[in-house]
């Protein structure tokens, strides 16, 4: 089996994990220095968003690839997929929806009353459900755009 990594390049990207881990560390320092009055749910939100989104990404991808018939392409076409993979914006939009879902879930869990800025961050159960559904739907669109590339029909 061929590897898609170039010389000196990591097989697994860890930039996102380090970024969200650093945000969690900064929020922990702010909480421990009593600058803010956040709950520990709020402090751990960045790393929960990262882990939760990647879990949802894998789960939706597994469900999509299980339901869709993708024929096996010739081995020489394997290198074409990683080059075009970064042009699909649905994963970033879905990450934004998941972040809004997680933030609203924490606000709902904490019993937040009223809107903080606008309805998107209100903590209402309707906002929680809408952003969860939007995140899953957009991830499904993401995988449905990758499917033809894997199939070789694009």
Structural domain contains residue 60:
yes
Instruction: Report whether 95 contacts 53 (CB < 8 A).
Output: yes
Instruction: Report whether 45 contacts 102 (CB < 8 A).
Output: yes
Chain-centroid distance of CA 15 in Å reads 14
Structural domain contains residue 3:
no
Structural domain contains residue 4:
no
Comparing 123 with 149, which gets the higher pLDDT? 123
Structural domain contains residue 142:
yes
**Distance (Å, rounded) from C-alpha 20 to C-alpha 102?**
14
CB-based contacts of 110: which residues, under 8 Å, 6+ apart? 39, 41, 42, 123
Structural domain contains residue 10:
no
Comparing 14 with 152, which gets the higher pLDDT? 14
Structural domain contains residue 93:
yes
The number of domains in the chain is 1
pLDDT of residue 1: 39
Structural domain contains residue 8:
no
pLDDT tens-place string over residues 6-41: 555 556 778 888 889 899 999 899 888 887 778 888
Name the one residue in this structure whose structure tokens are 């699909």: 88
Structure token pair of residue 116: 């903080």
Structural domain contains residue 144:
yes
Domain membership of residue 89 as a residue range: 15-151
């Amino acid at each position: 089996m061929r590897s898609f990594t170039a010389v000196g390049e990591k097989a697994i990207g860890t930039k996102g994990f380090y970024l969200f881990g650093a945000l969690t560390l900064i929020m922990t320092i702010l909480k421990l220095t009593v600058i803010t009055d956040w709950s520990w749910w709020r402090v751990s939100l960045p790393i929960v968003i990262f882990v939760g989104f990647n879990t949802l990404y894998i789960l939706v991808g597994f469900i999509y690839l299980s339901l869709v018939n993708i024929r096996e392409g010739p081995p020489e076409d394997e290198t074409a997929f990683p080059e075009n993979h970064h042009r699909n914006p649905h994963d970033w939009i879905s990450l934004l929806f998941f972040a809004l879902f997680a933030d609203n879930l924490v606000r709902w869990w904490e019993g937040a009353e009223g809107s903080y800025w606008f309805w998107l961050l209100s903590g209402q159960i309707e906002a929680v459900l809408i952003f969860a559904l939007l995140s899953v739907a957009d991830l499904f669109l993401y995988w449905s755009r990758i499917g033809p590339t894997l199939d070789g029909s694009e």
